[in-house]
Structure 1
């Protein structure tokens, strides 16, 4: 009886050790190929430099074919602005609950914040997808490294993930010398 118990205990211990020694997959690849992703959520940090001013904070973004919901927070996580975009209407709510609406999200952001941000195109840029008219530079795995599109220059960084389906962890978008937006994506949820 004791010998059977010891064999059972030893077997359980070996199974536990084997489970603990399993190395998690180092490079997560989305269940759906990047080119076919329609919806995603990100959480991360941003820094924005426009002319002599600079801003930084946190960002949470939900993107789906029916629209976008973008939450901008100060570095301490308090709400600074909420931008929602649906077909034909965009809405921006500031931290002091002032609400603005327009037909175009890019124009709304430019009018309210005073500088242009590519809200409408950023969803595709976050997925490292270029429009047919964009000038794209790719790496050996076929991933977008640099994109020139709609007056913007976008640089991509995939961290140490070599997968052709890797999603970017850093993105830098520039419009001339006056505007630079950097995004550091801490969490991807691709659907």
Structure 2
């Protein structure tokens, strides 16, 4: 019986993956006067560090002053939560609470790899982070703060990013953004060929 339940869950996951069509997309530069906007998104997260893979679901609520990120098991139970605000970052996992000044320091210490949340806030919306220099590759991928970022969008609504892949030596992070509950397009500059 349990085997059938797992099979059904796997088939439903595959069906959810094919419910939209992705198209590759370049990151679009932001207008100098752009202001951050809140968003609320769920999806799947895959991390590969030195050849070891981990998969989870996530719910991410971003506001102008904070982030709340819940990491979920394949069956939907929250296994870790991360809260960022003006006072720093707190992570609750395995019955323990940890605190640090920034997300990268805390996740490096607790997970063994840094989660670049401050820049991911921009990357998941298809833009370079405005606070640091960046470059574009010939393939249209973004290079920023040591990461190579590949962005795919929903073919039916090109404003909505659907997949963001981050890579650097020994580490890759893939986000599949399957449920945007709140998304406000950011003011971007026209892309010139």
- Normalised to the residue count of structure 2, the TM-score between the two structures is 0.71
Equivalents in 1 of 2:96, 2:168: separation in Å?
Answer: 28
**Unpaired runs of at least 5, structure 2:** 1-29, 185-193
Q: Which has the larger radius of gyration?
A: 1
Greater percentage in helix: 1
* 1:98 paired residue number: 96
Which residue is 1:184 aligned to? Answer: 176
Q: 1:93 to 1:61 in 2, by over 3 A?
A: same
Retained in 2: the 8 A contact 1:88–1:104?
no
How far does the alpha carbon of each residue in 1:76-116 deviate from its partner, in whole angstroms, 9 at most, with x for none? 1111110111124100000x220000111110110111111
* Residues 18-41 of structure 1: per-residue CA shift (max 9 Å, x gap): xxxxxxxxxxxxxxx996551000
Q: 3-state SS of the aligned residue for 2:161?
A: coil
Higher relative contact order (CA 8 A, sep 6+): 2
- Shift in Å at residue 134 of structure 1? 1.0
Give the number of aligned pairs. 150
Taking a change above 3 Å as real, the CA distance of residues 65 and 138 of structure 1, as seen in their structure-2 partners, is: farther
Q: Note the residue ranges of structure 1 that are not aligned, 5 or more in a row.
A: 1-32, 140-144
Report the TM-score when normalising by structure 1: 0.72
Asked whether the 8 Å contact 1:130–1:136 carries over to 2, the reply is no
1:27 aligned residue: none
1:39 alignment partner in structure 2: 38
Asked if the contact 1:37/1:190 (under 8 Å) is kept, the reply is no
Task: Give the counterpart of 1:107 among 78, 86, 105.
Answer: 105
